[in-house]
Amino acid sequence: MNFRETFEWLMRDRHLDSRIRRLKIRRMELMSCLEPGSMRYDQDRVQTSPKDTVATIFAEVDVLDREIEALQEQRAATVIEVSNAIEQMEDDREKTVLAMFFLERRRMEEIASEMHYSMQHAYRLRVKGIEHLGEKMA
């Protein structure tokens, strides 16, 4: 795998998490439509055919729940796969930087500070780690 492919493979967890968050936001918005204050009917006394959207909203929420659950399972499998791949690497410094960045989602500034490296050295270790991981996976 080349550098870009390896980087994208490592970023799958973040992409899945972003998608899950968006779906949860959408679900929360739909659920808020079911609260008593959000259900209003027009003031007209002669209502020919009131449209019941509650059932439609519940159906959409159910679809979202299933999709969120499937994505969470996929994300868990991805985290395990990425974690196992990182643990197979030889250089402990590269392993640590990759684990902190891709699994713990820490910023490079935090990683460099905690490991007592310059930012440049931390980035170098991340790049080398991604390259070595790609070679190992190829």
- Which band of pLDDT confidence, cut at 50, 70 and 90, is reported for residue 55? confident
Note the pLDDT of residue 20.
97
Note the pLDDT of residue 41.
54
Note the pLDDT of residue 45.
54
Find out whether 20 and 67 touch, Cβ atoms under 8 Å.
no
Note the pLDDT of residue 42.
54
Buried b (16+ CB within 10 A) or exposed e, 66-76: eebeeeeeebe
pLDDT of residue 57 exceeding 80, the answer is yes
Note the pLDDT of residue 35.
73
Rg over CA atoms, the chain = 23
